[in-house]
């Protein structure tokens, strides 16, 4: 079972994204909804086969500095790029 603040998760065995009750929280920003889908789709083997190495803008930024090979395969990096980086509500303390 995913952590309480997890909005969605991917099951590669049946090529499915599952949305948790957190995803439907009315206080969740629209960017978080779009971003969750982008993040999870990037995990699909026939899309980008990404992994979860770091989360948020700060985590993704630091990963890029310390481990560029993992940074290019980090699912949250795809999410941040697609929805506008530091404008994302999950972006952390970038800037």
Residues serving a catalytic function are 40
Phi then psi for residue 60, to 5 deg, are -65, -40
16 three-class SS = strand
Q: Encoding tokens for residue 92?
A: 């952390």
Contact (Cβ atoms closer than 8 angstroms) between residue 24 and residue 68: no
């Amino acid at each position: 079972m995913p952590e309480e603040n997890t909005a969605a998760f991917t099951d590669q065995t049946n090529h499915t994204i599952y949305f948790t009750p957190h995803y439907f929280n009315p206080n969740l920003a629209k960017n978080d909804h779009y971003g969750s889908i982008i993040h999870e789709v990037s995990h699909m083997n026939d899309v980008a086969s990404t992994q979860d190495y770091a989360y948020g803008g700060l985590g993704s930024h630091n990963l890029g500095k310390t481990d560029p090979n993992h940074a290019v395969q980090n699912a949250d990096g795809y999410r941040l790029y697609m929805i506008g980086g530091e404008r994302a509500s999950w972006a952390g303390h970038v800037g």
